[in-house]
Every structure is written in structure tokens, then in C-alpha cells.
Amino acid sequence: MSPENPTGQDARTPPGAGRPTGPPRRRSFTEDKILDLGQHRRQDEARRLRDLVSAFVLSGATDGERLPSDEEIAREFSCTRNTARIAMQMLVQENTIGRTAGQGTYANPRPLTWRTDRLLDQLKIDPPPLEHDYVLIGWRETTAVPSPMAALFDETVDRMAVFERVILYKGRPGSLRTYYLPLRPGDEFGQADANDDVFEIIESRFGHERLTADRQISAISADLSAAELLATEVGTPLLFIETTVREPGGTVVMIYHGRQRSDQVRIALEPSRGDL
């Protein structure tokens, strides 16, 4: 019998009868939802959370290791349980993690990073860069810095700017980037700065010099959020680019994750053996 059309005794049962008593089950674990950048769409938050879980939870997990529950993920990254559930399901669909009923969630083997040949890849920019514009689509400053991220930042960091930009190439969306910028007590960074040259601000205003970065590039399918923001179809292949920017001592000064449409902009390399 369909629950939408109850009959008999069930139809006369008062709402809430038979439910456990006690305080309502919480769906959110913080007032400062760091992944809500103003759009108020759960799918956008889940996309950002998927990236953070991949970078800060799965990166240190071994094959078959049991992973935190959705509730634990939600607590760590200051989001709702539903957001965590959607993000983890995205990772299941990518075969990055596995889930077994009654046994929990576990890590699958991490992809290997190794040389495919004995050539040194150098970035090739030809023709010159296209005209492009940055469009700020989300912004938040938060003091709720997740502990796995705080461990990489300077110990004086007391808040973090989280913002998102779409990069337009000749007026068409080509890249979607989410930034996590740690801020020390004296660092001034407002919403207007988020649409400016962030590296210039980091170097000239914050005093971070001789920066280096770790960068990983992989393939990913466009989820509902990315597809809408990049004006493409769900499932469209995208480049997923993870960048961690560091000072010479290793302290992380910025993290950003990008999704890029290969039909709008590509990464070209010019391999050689001269510098091996």
C-alpha cells in the first residue's frame, strides 16, 4: 500500500505517533557552514566537499582502510549530513571509495603517480593566452578551519577565505576554481580582493615569497553543479586540477581546485630530453 494514500487505522494515526522521543536529530553540526558560498545549493557544497575529502582524507588512507562516517565528515568540514552523503556518493560513483551495507565505507587503492616515459614536460603556451575574465560566484570568510587543513597552515592562521570563480574565455565558461586562502591576524583580504590577482596579493600584501606548488591533474566527469556552472552536460569529461601553493619552508599559503572544459581551453606540453 502506498504511504501517500494510507487507509484504515494508519490513516487515523496522529502525526509523529510511534516516533522516538527526545531532541530532534541534528542535520547540521555548525552555524558556520564553510562550504556554503552564498548560492544555498547543496550540490555545490557537495562538490566542494568531495574535493576536500579526496585531498585531506583519502590522500592518507591505505587500500581497504575504513573511512569516517558521513556524520564524522560533516562535523570535520562544517556541513550538513546530507551534503556529506552526496559528496561521499560522488566518490563511490568514481570508484575512489567503496561502500558495503552494514560494514561502512572504505578506501580503494589510490592512483599511482609515475613517469609515463623519459621525457621532461614543459608548459607550452602557443598561441598567446586567450582573452579571459574572472567572475566571482561565491565568497565566505570563516574561522571554522578544518583540522586537516589547519595542520598545513601557519600556526597563527585564525581564519580562512573560501571563494569560487568561473573563468570566461572569450565570454564562454571554461574553468571553475575553488580557493582556500588561510589568513593570519594581520592579513586583510576582502570579497573585492577575491576577484583580483590573488598571487599578487599573497606576495606583495602578505609577504609570501619564492612560492612553489604541488599540482595534480586527473580526469573527472562533470557533476550536476559543475555542469551548470560551466554550461555543459552532466557527465562531460573535465580536467580536475589540484594545486597546493607553499612557501620555501613548506607552509601552505593557498589551496585551489579547478575543473576545466577541454573543449574551451587545454593544457599543452612540450616534452624534451635536454634537461633530464
Kindly report the length of the chain: 276
- Shared-domain flag, residues 138 and 90: no
Could you give the C-alpha distances from 90 to 43, 99, 192, 202, in angstroms and in order? Answer: 10, 12, 32, 33
Q: Please state the domain count of the chain.
A: 2
**Domain presence at residue 267:** no
84: domain CATH number? 1.10.10.10
- Shared-domain flag, residues 169 and 241: yes
pLDDT at 39: 66
Pick from 136, 191, 188: nearest CA to 164: 136
The four Cα atoms 76, 78, 81, 83 give a dihedral, to 10 degrees, of -110
Phi, psi of 252 (to 5 degrees): -80, 130
Residue 19, pLDDT > 80, answer no
| Cα distance between residue 84 and residue 50, in whole Å | 8
Q: Average pLDDT of 90-106?
A: 92
**Domain presence at residue 169:** yes
Domain that holds residue 237: 132-261
- Shared-domain flag, residues 198 and 89: no
Pick from 138, 132, 221, 236: nearest CA to 175: 132
pLDDT at 275: 62
Looking at every residue in the chain, the average pLDDT score rounds to 86
Per-residue model confidence as pLDDT tens digits over 195-245: 999 999 999 999 999 999 999 999 999 999 999 999 999 999 999 999 999
- Confidence band of 126 (pLDDT split at 50, 70, 90): low
- Shared-domain flag, residues 67 and 178: no
Residue 3, pLDDT > 70, answer no
pLDDT at 10: 43
**Domain presence at residue 227:** yes
pLDDT at 94: 94
- Shared-domain flag, residues 70 and 165: no
- Shared-domain flag, residues 188 and 73: no
Q: Which of 61, 90, 107 is the last residue of a domain?
A: 107
**Domain presence at residue 117:** no
- Residue with the bigger pLDDT between 98 and 269: it is 98
The answer for residues whose C-beta is within 8 angstroms of residue 217's C-beta and 6 or more apart is 239, 240, 241, 242, 267
Query: Residue holding cell 562533470?
Result: 222
**Domain presence at residue 248:** yes
Q: Average pLDDT of 109-137?
A: 80
**Domain presence at residue 199:** yes
pLDDT at 193: 96
Per-residue model confidence as pLDDT tens digits over 172-189: 999 999 999 999 999 999
247: domain CATH number? 3.40.1410.10
Per-residue model confidence as pLDDT tens digits over 28-56: 444 567 888 876 588 999 999 999 999 99
| Cα distance between residue 50 and residue 39, in whole Å | 17
**Domain presence at residue 21:** no
- Shared-domain flag, residues 136 and 256: yes
pLDDT at 40: 59
> pTM of this prediction?
0.84
